[in-house]
Chain A
Amino acid sequence: ETGVTQTPRHLVMGMTNKKSLKCEQHLGHNAMYWYKQSAKKPLELMFVYSLEERVENNSVPSRFSPECPNSSHLFLHLHTLQPEDSALYLCASSRDSGGNYEQYFGPGTRLTVT
């Protein structure tokens, strides 16, 4: 285990539902990240938080709403998703948000939008 946990591991939701993904890191890191991994595509960075402040938002649609209440927890709130949003959502953390710090990944949440 990497010290980064994600719940739930699998989620099926309709387009009108509202759900949240949760990520928790037990590494004492200051930076946390959300990535989207779709089939046959490179990982896409969605959001970066450093010391609970959002420092990057990569043109992600507003139907994805992140929340970072403290440096150990990160949420991704989902509402009115589209079928093309079905993917593996990965959370990661690193000591700080500088480019030379390795990121530690959670196991991911497999999301299916019906």
Chain B
Amino acid sequence: AQSVTQLDSHVSVSEGTPVLLRCNYSSSYSPSLFWYVQHPNKGLQLLLKYTSAATLVKGINGFEAEFKKSETSFHLTKPSAHMSDAAEYFCVVSENNQGGKLIFGQGTELSVKP
């Protein structure tokens, strides 16, 4: 069975400092992994995805994530936070044999202080 755990429900950083949002997953098969972002009163937007190609994945808005199979982790990072990065972030796992079923983490709310 697959599952995903986001280790922090809330992260607060200062503008211009690095961002780290942590995600661990559990999967029986070769997983696909995604990070989505949701700004207030908006739908979810795809930041990046991993599908068994390069383990370091670059996404939009300067975000990237590294797939580490040995640690079953897929942490999201950004070198320098911007005020517009304040939002809810979701780590998502999908198994390729599960017909498109995405399993969402509970979300991490990112706050960015001026």
Q: A105–B43 contact, CB under 8 A?
A: yes
A33 (CB) vs chain B CBs: closest residue: B100
Is there an interface contact between B32 and A99, defined as CB atoms closer than 8 Å? yes
Residue contact B97 to A99, C-beta cutoff 8 Å: yes
Interface residue count for A (Cβ, 8 Å)?
30
Contacts of B42 in A (CB 8 A): 107-108
Question: What is the count of residue pairs linking A and B with beta-carbon distances less than 8 angstroms?
Answer: 67
Are B100 and A2 within 8 A (Cβ)? no
Q: 30 A-B pairs, CB-CB below 8 angstroms? A: A4-B43, A6-B43, A31-B100, A33-B100, A42-B104, A42-B105, A43-B90, A45-B102, A50-B100, A56-B99, A56-B101, A90-B43, A94-B100, A98-B96, A98-B99, A99-B32, A99-B94, A99-B95, A99-B100, A99-B101, A99-B102, A100-B32, A100-B51, A100-B94, A102-B34, A103-B100, A103-B102, A105-B36, A105-B43, A110-B41
